[in-house]
Amino acid sequence: MANRRQKPIRQVALERQLITIDSPRSPITEQYRTLRTNIEFSSFDQEYKTILVTSSSPGEGKSTTVSNLAVAFAQQGKKVLLIDTDLRKPTVHYTFNLKNVKGLTNVITKQATLTDVIQPTEVEHLTILTCGPIPPNPAELLGSEAMSQFIELAKTQYDIVLFDTPPILAVADTQILANKVDGTILVISSGNTEQEAARKSKDLLASAKGKIIGAVLNMKKAKDSKYYYYYGGD
Protein backbone atom coordinates (compact mmCIF):
# COMPACT_ATOMS: atom_id res chain seq x y z
CA MET A 1 0.00 0.00 0.00
CA ALA A 2 1.38 3.40 -0.93
CA ASN A 3 2.10 5.76 1.91
CA ARG A 4 -0.14 8.80 1.95
CA ARG A 5 1.61 12.07 2.44
CA GLN A 6 0.46 13.56 5.71
CA LYS A 7 0.26 17.27 6.36
CA PRO A 8 2.35 18.78 9.16
CA ILE A 9 0.50 19.28 12.44
CA ARG A 10 0.80 23.06 12.23
CA GLN A 11 -0.65 23.06 8.71
CA VAL A 12 -3.65 21.06 9.91
CA ALA A 13 -4.16 23.59 12.71
CA LEU A 14 -3.99 26.41 10.17
CA GLU A 15 -6.72 24.87 8.03
CA ARG A 16 -8.89 24.11 11.04
CA GLN A 17 -8.80 27.50 12.65
CA LEU A 18 -8.30 30.27 10.09
CA ILE A 19 -11.65 30.20 8.34
CA THR A 20 -11.29 33.92 7.60
CA ILE A 21 -8.51 32.92 5.19
CA ASP A 22 -9.81 29.58 3.91
CA SER A 23 -13.47 30.55 3.47
CA PRO A 24 -13.73 34.35 3.16
CA ARG A 25 -17.38 34.19 2.04
CA SER A 26 -18.64 31.79 4.70
CA PRO A 27 -21.27 32.86 7.25
CA ILE A 28 -18.73 32.24 10.01
CA THR A 29 -16.24 34.64 8.42
CA GLU A 30 -18.99 37.21 8.12
CA GLN A 31 -19.57 36.93 11.87
CA TYR A 32 -15.92 37.75 12.49
CA ARG A 33 -16.36 40.85 10.34
CA THR A 34 -19.42 41.73 12.40
CA LEU A 35 -17.36 41.33 15.57
CA ARG A 36 -14.74 43.64 14.09
CA THR A 37 -17.39 46.23 13.25
CA ASN A 38 -18.92 46.02 16.73
CA ILE A 39 -15.52 46.68 18.29
CA GLU A 40 -15.05 49.71 16.06
CA PHE A 41 -18.45 51.09 17.05
CA SER A 42 -17.64 50.44 20.72
CA SER A 43 -14.60 52.68 20.41
CA PHE A 44 -16.64 55.71 19.38
CA ASP A 45 -15.87 57.51 22.65
CA GLN A 46 -12.68 55.63 23.52
CA GLU A 47 -10.11 54.24 21.10
CA TYR A 48 -9.37 50.54 21.54
CA LYS A 49 -5.91 49.90 20.13
CA THR A 50 -4.88 47.13 22.54
CA ILE A 51 -7.43 44.36 23.02
CA LEU A 52 -7.15 41.24 25.13
CA VAL A 53 -9.17 38.12 24.31
CA THR A 54 -9.73 35.50 27.01
CA SER A 55 -12.17 32.86 28.23
CA SER A 56 -13.16 31.30 31.53
CA SER A 57 -11.64 27.89 30.89
CA PRO A 58 -9.59 26.04 28.24
CA GLY A 59 -11.30 24.82 25.09
CA GLU A 60 -13.84 27.63 24.75
CA GLY A 61 -12.43 29.07 21.53
CA LYS A 62 -10.57 32.19 22.61
CA SER A 63 -7.41 31.44 20.58
CA THR A 64 -9.45 30.68 17.47
CA THR A 65 -11.46 33.84 18.00
CA VAL A 66 -8.50 36.18 18.46
CA SER A 67 -6.63 34.70 15.48
CA ASN A 68 -9.56 35.09 13.10
CA LEU A 69 -10.30 38.55 14.48
CA ALA A 70 -6.70 39.54 13.77
CA VAL A 71 -7.10 38.37 10.17
CA ALA A 72 -10.40 40.27 9.85
CA PHE A 73 -8.79 43.53 10.98
CA ALA A 74 -5.82 43.00 8.67
CA GLN A 75 -8.11 42.31 5.71
CA GLN A 76 -9.66 45.72 6.38
CA GLY A 77 -6.22 47.27 5.84
CA LYS A 78 -5.35 47.81 9.49
CA LYS A 79 -1.78 47.19 10.58
CA VAL A 80 -2.24 44.40 13.13
CA LEU A 81 0.05 42.78 15.69
CA LEU A 82 -1.16 39.55 17.31
CA ILE A 83 0.77 38.65 20.47
CA ASP A 84 0.75 35.30 22.22
CA THR A 85 0.74 36.23 25.90
CA ASP A 86 -0.12 32.73 27.05
CA LEU A 87 3.32 32.21 28.53
CA ARG A 88 2.38 28.78 29.86
CA LYS A 89 0.71 27.03 26.92
CA PRO A 90 1.26 29.11 23.76
CA THR A 91 -0.55 28.10 20.56
CA VAL A 92 -0.49 31.06 18.16
CA HIS A 93 2.65 29.82 16.42
CA TYR A 94 0.89 26.54 15.62
CA THR A 95 -2.12 28.35 14.20
CA PHE A 96 -0.02 30.42 11.80
CA ASN A 97 2.58 27.73 11.09
CA LEU A 98 5.46 29.73 12.58
CA LYS A 99 8.53 28.97 14.66
CA ASN A 100 8.60 29.88 18.33
CA VAL A 101 12.33 30.20 18.98
CA LYS A 102 12.24 33.85 20.04
CA GLY A 103 9.30 36.04 20.95
CA LEU A 104 7.63 38.15 23.60
CA THR A 105 9.66 36.86 26.53
CA ASN A 106 12.88 37.84 24.75
CA VAL A 107 11.57 41.37 24.21
CA ILE A 108 10.41 41.84 27.82
CA THR A 109 13.74 40.62 29.20
CA LYS A 110 15.64 42.93 26.83
CA GLN A 111 17.27 40.06 24.95
CA ALA A 112 15.79 41.22 21.66
CA THR A 113 13.84 44.11 20.15
CA LEU A 114 10.32 43.91 18.73
CA THR A 115 11.72 44.27 15.22
CA ASP A 116 14.06 41.35 15.82
CA VAL A 117 11.37 38.80 16.66
CA ILE A 118 8.13 39.70 14.86
CA GLN A 119 7.10 37.37 12.05
CA PRO A 120 5.05 38.14 8.93
CA THR A 121 2.13 35.99 7.83
CA GLU A 122 0.48 35.17 4.53
CA VAL A 123 -2.09 37.85 5.39
CA GLU A 124 -1.04 41.33 4.34
CA HIS A 125 -0.81 43.77 7.27
CA LEU A 126 -0.82 40.98 9.90
CA THR A 127 2.29 40.36 12.00
CA ILE A 128 2.74 37.82 14.78
CA LEU A 129 4.76 37.99 17.99
CA THR A 130 4.98 34.47 19.39
CA CYS A 131 5.45 33.68 23.07
CA GLY A 132 9.13 32.81 22.86
CA PRO A 133 10.82 30.60 25.47
CA ILE A 134 8.41 29.71 28.28
CA PRO A 135 9.58 31.52 31.45
CA PRO A 136 9.47 30.30 35.06
CA ASN A 137 7.66 33.48 36.15
CA PRO A 138 4.90 34.36 33.62
CA ALA A 139 2.84 36.56 35.96
CA GLU A 140 5.85 38.61 37.03
CA LEU A 141 6.89 39.23 33.42
CA LEU A 142 3.41 40.31 32.32
CA GLY A 143 3.07 42.60 35.34
CA SER A 144 6.47 44.21 34.90
CA GLU A 145 7.18 47.79 33.89
CA ALA A 146 9.02 46.37 30.88
CA MET A 147 5.74 44.85 29.67
CA SER A 148 3.94 48.17 30.10
CA GLN A 149 6.66 49.93 28.11
CA PHE A 150 6.46 47.30 25.41
CA ILE A 151 2.68 47.75 25.04
CA GLU A 152 3.10 51.50 24.67
CA LEU A 153 5.75 50.92 22.00
CA ALA A 154 3.52 48.49 20.10
CA LYS A 155 0.67 51.03 20.12
CA THR A 156 2.87 53.51 18.27
CA GLN A 157 3.72 51.02 15.52
CA TYR A 158 0.39 49.26 14.91
CA ASP A 159 -3.25 50.22 14.42
CA ILE A 160 -4.50 47.24 16.44
CA VAL A 161 -2.63 45.08 18.95
CA LEU A 162 -4.41 41.85 19.98
CA PHE A 163 -3.42 39.61 22.90
CA ASP A 164 -4.16 35.90 23.20
CA THR A 165 -4.12 35.13 26.94
CA PRO A 166 -4.61 32.14 29.24
CA PRO A 167 -8.13 31.37 30.54
CA ILE A 168 -8.80 33.88 33.29
CA LEU A 169 -9.98 31.35 35.90
CA ALA A 170 -6.84 29.25 35.47
CA VAL A 171 -4.09 31.73 36.38
CA ALA A 172 -3.65 35.37 37.40
CA ASP A 173 -1.81 36.33 34.20
CA THR A 174 -4.89 37.59 32.37
CA GLN A 175 -6.04 39.79 35.25
CA ILE A 176 -2.61 41.39 35.36
CA LEU A 177 -2.62 42.10 31.63
CA ALA A 178 -6.24 43.31 31.57
CA ASN A 179 -5.19 46.32 33.61
CA LYS A 180 -2.63 47.29 30.96
CA VAL A 181 -4.73 47.14 27.77
CA ASP A 182 -7.56 49.31 26.42
CA GLY A 183 -10.22 46.60 26.40
CA THR A 184 -11.06 42.95 26.97
CA ILE A 185 -13.30 40.50 25.13
CA LEU A 186 -14.60 37.43 26.98
CA VAL A 187 -15.27 34.33 24.86
CA ILE A 188 -18.14 32.15 26.09
CA SER A 189 -18.78 28.69 24.69
CA SER A 190 -22.49 28.02 24.20
CA GLY A 191 -23.57 24.94 26.12
CA ASN A 192 -20.15 24.53 27.74
CA THR A 193 -19.34 27.62 29.76
CA GLU A 194 -21.19 27.55 33.07
CA GLN A 195 -23.03 30.72 34.04
CA GLU A 196 -21.17 30.91 37.33
CA ALA A 197 -17.81 30.64 35.54
CA ALA A 198 -18.74 33.44 33.15
CA ARG A 199 -19.96 35.59 36.03
CA LYS A 200 -16.79 34.98 38.03
CA SER A 201 -14.65 35.80 34.97
CA LYS A 202 -16.47 39.10 34.57
CA ASP A 203 -15.98 39.89 38.25
CA LEU A 204 -12.25 39.12 38.08
CA LEU A 205 -11.82 41.42 35.10
CA ALA A 206 -13.74 44.16 36.89
CA SER A 207 -11.67 43.75 40.05
CA ALA A 208 -8.52 44.06 37.95
CA LYS A 209 -9.96 47.33 36.60
CA GLY A 210 -10.05 45.89 33.11
CA LYS A 211 -12.36 47.49 30.55
CA ILE A 212 -14.77 44.83 29.26
CA ILE A 213 -15.77 45.63 25.69
CA GLY A 214 -18.16 42.71 25.46
CA ALA A 215 -18.47 38.96 25.03
CA VAL A 216 -18.39 36.57 22.09
CA LEU A 217 -20.84 33.66 22.19
CA ASN A 218 -18.93 30.80 20.62
CA MET A 219 -20.23 27.53 19.16
CA LYS A 220 -23.79 28.83 19.01
CA LYS A 221 -25.66 27.03 16.26
CA ALA A 222 -27.70 29.29 14.02
CA LYS A 223 -31.37 28.42 13.67
CA ASP A 224 -32.25 26.55 10.51
CA SER A 225 -28.63 26.43 9.44
CA LYS A 226 -25.80 23.93 9.48
CA TYR A 227 -23.34 26.72 10.25
CA TYR A 228 -22.01 27.97 13.56
CA TYR A 229 -21.45 31.59 14.44
CA TYR A 230 -18.02 30.79 15.80
CA TYR A 231 -16.11 27.57 16.08
CA GLY A 232 -12.91 25.88 17.08
CA GLY A 233 -10.89 24.77 20.07
CA ASP A 234 -8.99 26.86 22.58
pLDDT tens, residue by residue, 60-104: 889 999 999 999 999 999 999 999 999 999 999 999 999 999 999
Does residue 146 contact residue 74 with C-beta atoms inside 8 Å?
Answer: no
Please state the pTM of the whole predicted model. Answer: 0.86
- Which DSSP string corresponds to 40-75? HHHTSSS---EEEEEESSTTSSHHHHHHHHHHHHHH
Pick the CATH number of 26-218 from 3.40.718.10, 3.40.50.300, 3.40.50.720, 3.30.365.10: 3.40.50.300
Could you read off the pLDDT of 37-51 as tens digits, one per residue? Answer: 988 888 667 789 999
Q: Looking at residue 194, what is its pLDDT? A: 77
Cβ atoms of 210 and 180 within 8 Å: the answer is no
First to last CA, the chain: 36
Residue 231 has pLDDT above 80, yes or no: no
Question: For the chain, what is the total number of helices (H) and then of strands (E)?
Answer: 11, 7
